[in-house]
Chain A
Amino acid sequence: MKLTQGCFSFLPDLTDDQIYKQVQYCLAKGWAVNIEFTDDPHPRNTYWEMWGLPMFDLQDAAGVMLELKECRRVYGDRYIRISGFDSSHGWESAKISFIVNRPPQETEFELVRHEVAGRAVRYTTVRRPAPPTAP
């Protein structure tokens, strides 16, 4: 199941040239570009680990692509996303975030239903154990 989080996640995965252009857009807007990775893409897991420092004083996205390449080399089996943080007054928040790397075996989630007091029902998103790999 393809994980859908952030921008462009219902589209086919971005190619490197497309990522380059998105990052260049962020830099042109003056946003700080971050590379983040995680092995737990649960929707409630907002804070992913950062790869290096935010890159806010670059002119060209080639610098980000350099770091992304390095991050993929080390954590190619995890989810990696790029986010653009707008520090201007009144915003001070991430304005864009998109996935740039997926593990070969994507994590799957399912909705588990709990019956609680009365007839109320609660739902929890839980990680489905990885299916046995075909021999």
Chain B
Amino acid sequence: MLDLPHAKDADAGELPAAFDLRKEAEAAGITETLGQLDQELIGLKPVKSRVRQIASLLLIERIRQRAGLVSAPPTLHMSFTGNPGTGKTTVALRMAKILHGLGFVRRGQVISVTRDDLVGQYIGHTAPKTKEILKKAMGGVLFIDEAYYLHRPDNERDYGQEAIEILLQVMENQREDLVVILAGYGERMTSFFASNPGFRSRIAHHIEFPDYSEAELLVIAELMLRERGYKFDASAREAFARYIALRRTQPFFSNARSIRNAVDRIRLRQADRLVSDLDRMLDIADLETIDSADVLASRVFSGGLIAGGGPAGSTD
């Protein structure tokens, strides 16, 4: 939509008295983008409703502009908070595409950074480094993962503060050029915002990512399997539902990430089961079907970490 940062629509033709909202929405590609979002992301109600609100605002702003009313570009900086594996990074990557599709950002690239990319190692190193990243992110989305590491409360001479100041300045002055998304775990982000009030007020959208329900996790697992070209048979599906219920009660559960690991392990076990009988002829159905034995062999069913006491990552 906008090819120039501060361009106003130049066509000063005669103004229609009424605007066809449906036609406008389709012209902007909003209905399509939102439909896609609904399909590809499971659950995440608060996230979707916020994206829908933002899209509606864009549409109305656009019409207002055409009608000659006052319009100001909306502030789009966001913060995503939630437990591990609730899809913060996934949504952030997708958000750039959505915002680009809706015409909020001009290029739509995502620059994903952590503390290391922004903060320098010696005096005078931080500012150029942060600016370099900001320039690269212009016209797109700057995604700062685990943003609370920028601020080290125990060291007042930490260079992170310098990076924060530059970020704040650009976030304020170049709202049309750049969207900043901060992400991190809930409580630590809260204390990060508490010690940097400037950040909190410059971010318009604080989105909380809820934990997935068991039914949603099952749908996610099936989606992951479909992407990898596998499917559950009826008994495996039922077994995996039980697996999710059990796994949730065990330590180090991290939502969709645990499910992804479980799916990968199940694939290993399925391959192992097939290879164990070398004299057998395989057909396509054998190759893509996960049966209940593959699921039930998981340590989760025998008590998992509590009984096994293995290292944290290997409970799935």
List residues of chain A with CB under 8 Å of any chain B CB. 17, 20-21, 52, 55, 57-67
Contact residue among A20, A58, A59, A67 (Cβ-Cβ distance under 8 Å from B5): A20
Contact residue among B4, B7, B131, B136 (Cβ-Cβ distance under 8 Å from A59): B136
Q: Which of B177-191 contact A (CB under 8 A)?
A: 177-178
| Complex contact A66–B138 (CB within 8 A) | yes
| Complex contact B174–A62 (CB within 8 A) | yes
- For A21, what are the chain B residues with a Cβ–Cβ distance below 8 Å? 3-4
Contact residue among B7, B131, B177 (Cβ-Cβ distance under 8 Å from A62): B177
Contact status of A58 and B136, CB under 8 A, knowing A17-B4, A20-B4 = yes
Asked if B76 is an interface residue, CB under 8 A from chain A, the answer is no
6 extra interchain contacts, Cβ-Cβ under 8 A, other than A62-B138, A65-B5? Answer: A17-B6, A57-B136, A59-B136, A59-B138, A62-B139, A66-B138
| CA distance in complex: A57, B5 (Å) | 19
| CA distance in complex: A60, B178 (Å) | 10
- How many A-B contacts at CB < 8 Å in the complex? 47
Q: List 25 A-B contacts (CB under 8 A).
A: A21-B3, A21-B4, A52-B128, A55-B135, A57-B136, A58-B135, A59-B107, A59-B138, A60-B106, A60-B140, A60-B177, A61-B138, A61-B139, A62-B5, A62-B106, A62-B174, A62-B178, A63-B134, A63-B136, A63-B138, A65-B5, A66-B135, A66-B138, A66-B170, A67-B135
- For A17, what are the chain B residues with a Cβ–Cβ distance below 8 Å? 4, 6-7
| CA distance in complex: A50, B207 (Å) | 43
- What are the interface flags for B120-141 relative to A under an 8 Å C-beta threshold, 1 for contact and 0 otherwise? 0000000010010011101110
- For B4, what are the chain A residues with a Cβ–Cβ distance below 8 Å? 17, 20-21
Q: Quick one: closest A residue to B108, CB to CB?
A: A59
Q: Which of B82-137 contact A (CB under 8 A)?
A: 106-107, 109, 128, 131, 134-136
- For A66, what are the chain B residues with a Cβ–Cβ distance below 8 Å? 131, 134-135, 138, 170, 174
Interface SS, A side: helix
Size category, B interface: 20 to 34
| CA distance in complex: A20, B177 (Å) | 12
- For B5, what are the chain A residues with a Cβ–Cβ distance below 8 Å? 20, 62, 65
| Complex contact B7–A60 (CB within 8 A) | no
| Complex contact B134–A59 (CB within 8 A) | no
- For A61, what are the chain B residues with a Cβ–Cβ distance below 8 Å? 138-139
| CA distance in complex: A21, B6 (Å) | 12
- For A65, what are the chain B residues with a Cβ–Cβ distance below 8 Å? 5
- For B139, what are the chain A residues with a Cβ–Cβ distance below 8 Å? 59-62
- For B170, what are the chain A residues with a Cβ–Cβ distance below 8 Å? 66
The 3 closest A-B pairs by CB, nearest first: A60-B139, A63-B135, A62-B138
| CA distance in complex: A11, B216 (Å) | 62
In the assembled complex, the CB of A1 is this many whole angstroms from the nearest CB of chain B, namely: 32
Q: Quick one: closest A residue to B4, CB to CB?
A: A17
| CA distance in complex: A58, B136 (Å) | 5
| Complex contact A58–B138 (CB within 8 A) | yes
In the assembled complex, the CB of A55 is this many whole angstroms from the nearest CB of chain B, namely: 7
| CA distance in complex: A122, B178 (Å) | 55
Q: Which of B133-180 contact A (CB under 8 A)?
A: 134-136, 138-140, 170, 174, 177-178
- For B3, what are the chain A residues with a Cβ–Cβ distance below 8 Å? 21
Contact residue among A52, A57, A59 (Cβ-Cβ distance under 8 Å from B140): A59
- For B134, what are the chain A residues with a Cβ–Cβ distance below 8 Å? 63, 66
| CA distance in complex: A58, B109 (Å) | 10
In the assembled complex, the CB of A50 is this many whole angstroms from the nearest CB of chain B, namely: 14
- For A62, what are the chain B residues with a Cβ–Cβ distance below 8 Å? 5, 106, 138-139, 174, 177-178
In the assembled complex, the CB of A68 is this many whole angstroms from the nearest CB of chain B, namely: 11
| CA distance in complex: A97, B215 (Å) | 60
Q: Quick one: closest B residue to A24, CB to CB?
A: B3
| CA distance in complex: A128, B107 (Å) | 47
- For B109, what are the chain A residues with a Cβ–Cβ distance below 8 Å? 59
